[in-house]
Structure 1
């Protein structure tokens, strides 16, 4: 038998921790590919936290974080290596006038 359409699934926002109805949340895929749904489970963000996200493409970000041992190194050492790697690969980060 099919589940009731009126049943509301509750999810927890991964950013702020509040619980909200699934239909009031946004799916989050840490790999940046929420359209490829095969064999995936998604985390969720409440609408407020989703609005605050940067929605620019994240190509190569996960690989770079793994390569630089994010979460396994001292914060200051990680940030220094991250900034160095980004500038080496993509140039300096300067605002356009």
Structure 2
């Protein structure tokens, strides 16, 4: 996905990107997911992840927990219009 464009002789020397993502932002997101996976999910020969060795985690994290992570709303934070429309029955904290 990070391949450089190939210059084509038959297409008036225009660059042709055959296998890359066309959007560098997508590559950044993929690298971030892989980095998080290898630091928190991948267990080494000592049965610990790199995050466990550094004291950032108590145990290996399931990949599903990373991919489907949704942060908890902070207490006292007002909901945006899109959040209020998506979940109209949820209580809003007093302001």
TM superposition score category, shorter chain reference: under 0.3
Instruction: Say which one has the larger Rg.
Output: 2
TM-score (norm 2): 0.22
Does 1 or 2 have the higher relative contact order (CA < 8 Å, sep 6+)? 1
More strand by share: 1
TM-score (norm 1): 0.22
